[in-house]
């Protein structure tokens, strides 16, 4: 199941809106909101702080906020966009031994690597943009690719969190 990320202007369950974000990471030309960013809350007559986010999507060291993440007043964040989403895989798995799964998790966490696949969606219909050419720029490197049938890019990994730029390629051109 895909969960949209939160941007400035997204509504809250308390009738407010997100009012701060990180302008270095834009979704549909709006700054992404992260843990520590603010939202108004008419229900509780306060300006609340986003207190939960996606631990796997770090924007300059802060977890990116998602739909249903919490505010300090107790309200939740609601979506305004669905172009950039977090994908939790939607499946389930089981391990034959709890020790084995703990060891695997520990090994994964100690590797200190970051990775993310991005799902590209049509802004008007919300449908995945499948088999679309894209470029991802990270740390001066350009990654060329084509989205899969569900609109996902390839996995982008690194040993530290960093900003990326994603471009959809509409014109046919040579990949370098």
CATH number at residue 54: 2.60.200.60
Across 7-18, average pLDDT = 94
* Cβ–Cβ < 8 Å for 44, 71: no
Chain position carrying tokens 């520590």: 36
The DSSP code for 171 is S
State residue 142 phi and psi, 5-degree precision: -105, 125
Domain contains 155 = yes
Residue 84 confidence (pLDDT):
61
Per-residue pLDDT for 12 more than 90? yes
Nearest to 32 by CA among 3, 56, 62: 62
Nearest to 59 by CA among 16, 19, 12, 27: 27
Per-residue pLDDT for 168 more than 50? yes
pLDDT tens, position by position, 55-108: 888 888 899 999 999 999 999 999 886 666 655 544 433 333 333 334 444 444
pTM (whole model) above 0.85: no
Q: How many structural domains are present in the chain?
A: 2
- Domain carrying residue 141: 114-168
Reduce the DSSP state of residue 174 to 3 states and report it.
Answer: coil
Residue 97 confidence (pLDDT):
34
What is the rounded average pLDDT for all residues in the chain? 78
What is the C-alpha to C-alpha distance for residues 74 and 13, in angstroms, rounded to an integer? 9
pLDDT tens, position by position, 40-61: 999 999 999 999 999 888 888 8
Nearest to 118 by CA among 90, 157, 80: 157
Q: Is residue 71 domain-shared with residue 126, that is, in the same domain?
A: no
What is the C-alpha to C-alpha distance for residues 94 and 167, in angstroms, rounded to an integer? 37
Domain contains 84 = no
Residue 50 confidence (pLDDT):
96
């Amino acid at each position: 199941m895909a969960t949209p990320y939160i941007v400035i202007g997204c509504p809250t369950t308390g009738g407010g809106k997100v009012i701060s974000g990180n302008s270095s990471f834009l979704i549909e030309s709006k700054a992404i909101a992260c843990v520590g960013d603010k939202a108004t809350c008419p229900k509780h007559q306060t300006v609340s702080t986003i207190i939960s986010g996606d631990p796997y999507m770090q924007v300059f060291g802060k977890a990116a906020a998602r739909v249903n993440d919490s505010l300090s007043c107790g309200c939740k964040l609601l979506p305004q966009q669905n172009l950039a989403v977090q994908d939790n895989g939607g499946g389930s798995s089981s391990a034959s031994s709890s020790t084995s799964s703990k060891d695997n998790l520990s090994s994964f966490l100690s590797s200190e690597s970051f990775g993310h696949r991005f799902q590209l969606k049509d802004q008007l219909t919300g449908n995945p943009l499948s088999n679309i050419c894209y470029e991802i720029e990270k740390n001066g490197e350009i990654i060329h690719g084509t989205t899969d049938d569900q609109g996902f890019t390839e996995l982008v990994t690194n040993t530290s969190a960093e900003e990326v730029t994603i471009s959809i390629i509409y014109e046919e051109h040579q990949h370098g």
